[in-house]
Amino acid sequence: MEQPNSLLQGTFPVVPTPFHANLDIDYDGFKNVIRYIIDCDVEGLVFPGLASEYAQLSKAERLEATAIVGDMCRGKLDFVVGASAPTPEEAIEYSIAGAQAGAVCAMVMAPLKFAQDEQAMIDFYRTLAEKAQIPIMLQNAPPPMGAGLNVDTVLKIIAAVPQIHYVKEETMPCGQRIEQLLSNPPAHLKGVFGGAGGRYILDELDRNALGTVPACELTEMHKTLVDAHRNHDYDTAFDAYTKMIPILNMQAVYRCNLTKQILVQRGIINSNAVRVPGPVLDDKNIAELNKLWRLVQDYMPAIA
């Protein structure tokens, strides 16, 4: 349970779900990724999120993986459980499973099906909050996965549900929306995180985001950037950002497949296989990725 006066802030990478070539979960690889994130000395991590392919996981897989994450994070860093689901009953189950595993907060995406029904969205979060056992982070992702709620609607939901302590805002323009959310927030809102793959992180931090919830393939650089910005070392933050943005832009297209490709080439997992539909890297893309990696070599280890 999040302590009353505690504050989540900093770098919270999303743990991907590695698969074998036959698309069964690679649990050894999964544990390797968690260890890698922990070793980067970040403040916390998130599982499962969109970058975990949560919609392609069975309930049993999701619960088993959540328990593993909680066990490995305990006493080391904060665990935010992803509890997004179509119904509040399912979201409650995933939130409780996370709480039992040691999660301090449940990140729950505003469901697309309620995008045009403000009261239904409020009812969804209110029902969830009554039984979730841990505070909530409202994830406002754009369509087609999320609802892409406007700022006024997000604020109304927060005001109606005191258990919502955080927002992950990743509907464009992220930075402006974060600033608007923080301009006159309900007293119980502790702050807002950026997302969107970290592609707008400088603007988000400049507008007082608490931190970032990116994919994990560049965790060292996200950590360096966020820490530098927090310490007013804006030159280092800008340097890290400009060097990693070409890879983050490539990740915007190839998503989980690119994240996993980098983790494969770093020797952390064995396969870049994905269950989620979408474009996958070909040989020319991988050659381009390897060229772009030269830009980040001052911050990151070499890749094979």
Write out the binding residues.
Answer: 213
Q: Residue 248 contacts by C-beta under 8 Å, 6 or more apart in sequence?
A: 197, 198, 199, 218
| Listed residue (209, 274, 145) closest to 12, CA to CA | 209
Pairing, β 136-140 against β 164-169: parallel
How many whole angstroms separate alpha carbon 262 and alpha carbon 24? 20
Where is the binding site for pyruvate, in residues? 213
**Opening angle at CA 261, ends 202 and 51, nearest 5:** 55
Distance, CA of 97 to CA of 79 (rounded, Å): 12
| 169 beta partners | 140, 194
The DSSP secondary-structure symbol of 77 reads: S
Reduced to 3 DSSP states, what percent helix, strand and coil does the chain have, rounded to the nearest 5?
Answer: 50, 15, 35
